[in-house]
Structure 1
């Protein structure tokens, strides 16, 4: 059986001193400036897009003429060009949701530096908790060793590290190792049962077997109160049309740390929950939700203003906080690794249809309670459980699948056919 190569990522926290952190900050700002220069050169060159060769020559010339461009390693500069070209390829791909590449702002873009070649990393394990890695123009840096990396330890899976990316968040710099492992083309069939999952807000995940997977608030009461006070403080210090003061920037950093804390807890819960589901069930059926459309603003226009704007904004925040798309993404590769699959089915009608008799009536659902309006049936129960059963029963009307080599592609994302 021929081996299959699987790409995975592993994130580890870097232990940097002030000098090393400042060097990485400078490299990240240079990478962002290079992106903006590339975008200007690529899109405004006499009305025609520049070729890859022309962009590469422009980068080499800029590194000789502009002194601060040398802060960014040459390989990282080439990675910026590769990422930029890939962004355009994704935009022109009718099956990809990517938007048109634009300029990157200083405070709204994520600071990142790419290390495309793994040979420059020289990874070594120092002790049980720490490892060491070499970063270009930074030096030897320690990182938290929380997982065995392929090709480095005996217990690690077979494979290798192909590169890394340095990313900065509210807690500092972290390294994302790009790994490539080998596995059988087809994993043994999963012996577990089939389950339908309804994603919600009141109940995070409702399963067709009658169980639920729920969580508490991502922030404690004290943390939520502190976040509220910091947001009010930032609103008072914000001056329209004026650059942000140092005090306002510090307040923004405190807000970002609290929000990053909430996200880390959410992602941790999602990882634990999806791992448990992937190990128990052989097939997971979910709705094919277009989340981007669901969280659109309801403000409308001046001529036609929206209604219930504040309520819709709160609903959008709740949906975004649950990370529905991330849950399905995690389930996708985890079930595939265990021989299972994730199936997407059409979403309309699953929450207002009785799973027992098939009667569809919007008045049957009242909050979390579902009472079938068909007098012959009159089934009552939890509304989310009823929706999950409908989702499981709709597995025959497949929209898309992952983990199954013969699963159909999404009919809503296919490019239009030529007339």
Structure 2
């Protein structure tokens, strides 16, 4: 995983802080739903049900509705992944995220690119016979030391290239630590 330092403008930093707040809020709602589960009760909602609930909450709550839906759904997806890996990861149950401590959000790529097998042949869908299209993050290089990544709601955000090649990834995670923004490509 490649991690780089980001240099957003003040407007972009404000939007990204909003993304962090929305992602943290959705994560904490998911934690709350799962902590109220007790033996003998109906199961806590899964990812699909939580996405339906998120859609309803976005309609009713103007603050949540103003945020990016992809960022909020990725927070639910991350929670589901953490919940499913609680025994194998060594981290245990997912816990609450706190303001100024757990500031970050994940974004999936917006570009659609064809996927290929190891031998170079295109991956085909078994039902339709069409090529499978995967996601890719939109990154463009400005010069030898600087590049830009497209963050939803922010536009192009600059980051410092510390490796010779441009990162290729399907997702990226933006974090704020010690008043510094970082981006990690997965």
Instruction: Measure the CA separation in 2 of the matches of 1:43 and 1:50.
Output: 11
CA deviation vs aligned residue, 1:84-108 (integer Å, no higher than 9, x gap) = 11111122x3x4312222222224x
Q: 1:105 aligned to 2:88?
A: no
Q: 1:86 aligned to 2:81?
A: yes
* Correspondence for 1:167 among 150, 155, 175: 175
Q: Give the aligned partner of residue 309 of structure 1.
A: none
Q: State whether residues 118 and 161 of structure 1, in contact with CA within 8 Å, keep that contact through their aligned partners in structure 2.
A: no
Instruction: Measure the CA separation in 1 of the matches of 2:18 and 2:93.
Output: 27
Q: Give the aligned partner of residue 36 of structure 2.
A: 44
Q: Determine which structure has the larger helix proportion and give its number.
A: 1
CA deviation vs aligned residue, 1:141-183 (integer Å, no higher than 9, x gap) = 1111121125xxxxxxxxx4211110111141111111xxxxx
Q: Give the aligned partner of residue 149 of structure 1.
A: 166
Instruction: Measure the CA separation in 2 of the matches of 1:164 and 1:71.
Output: 22
* 1:284-363 alignment, distance < 5 Å: none
Instruction: Measure the CA separation in 2 of the matches of 1:16 and 1:51.
Output: 35
Change (3 A) 1:176 1:106: same
Q: Give the aligned partner of residue 62 of structure 1.
A: 57
Instruction: Measure the CA separation in 2 of the matches of 1:162 and 1:121.
Output: 5
Q: Give the aligned partner of residue 133 of structure 2.
A: none
Instruction: Measure the CA separation in 2 of the matches of 1:86 and 1:122.
Output: 24
Instruction: Measure the CA separation in 2 of the matches of 1:44 and 1:67.
Output: 26
Instruction: Measure the CA separation in 2 of the matches of 1:96 and 1:15.
Output: 32
Q: Give the aligned partner of residue 77 of structure 1.
A: 72
Instruction: Measure the CA separation in 1 of the matches of 2:80 and 2:109.
Output: 19
Cα offset for 1:70? 2.9
CA deviation vs aligned residue, 1:86-145 (integer Å, no higher than 9, x gap) = 111122x3x4312222222224x3200111225274211111111112110011111111
Instruction: Measure the CA separation in 2 of the matches of 1:141 and 1:106.
Output: 23
Larger-Rg structure: 1
Q: State whether residues 73 and 136 of structure 1, in contact with CA within 8 Å, keep that contact through their aligned partners in structure 2.
A: yes
CA deviation vs aligned residue, 1:254-292 (integer Å, no higher than 9, x gap) = xxxxxxxxxxxxxxxxxxxxxxxxxxxxxxxxxxxxxxx
* Correspondence for 2:148 among 121, 132, 152: 132
Secondary structure class of the residue paired with 1:110 = coil
Q: Give the aligned partner of residue 123 of structure 1.
A: 139
Instruction: Measure the CA separation in 1 of the matches of 2:148 and 2:89.
Output: 37
Q: Identify which of structures 1 and 2 has the higher relative contact order when contacts are C-alpha pairs closer than 8 Å and 6+ apart.
A: 2
Q: Runs of 4+ in structure 1 displaced over 4 angstroms?
A: none
Q: TM-score, normalised by structure 2?
A: 0.76
Quote the RMSD (CA, aligned, Å). Answer: 2.0
Secondary structure class of the residue paired with 1:161 = coil
Change (3 A) 1:122 1:53: closer
Q: Give the aligned partner of residue 126 of structure 2.
A: none
Change (3 A) 1:38 1:135: same
Cα offset for 1:44? 2.6
Q: Which runs of 5+ in 1 are unaligned?
A: 1-8, 151-159, 179-419
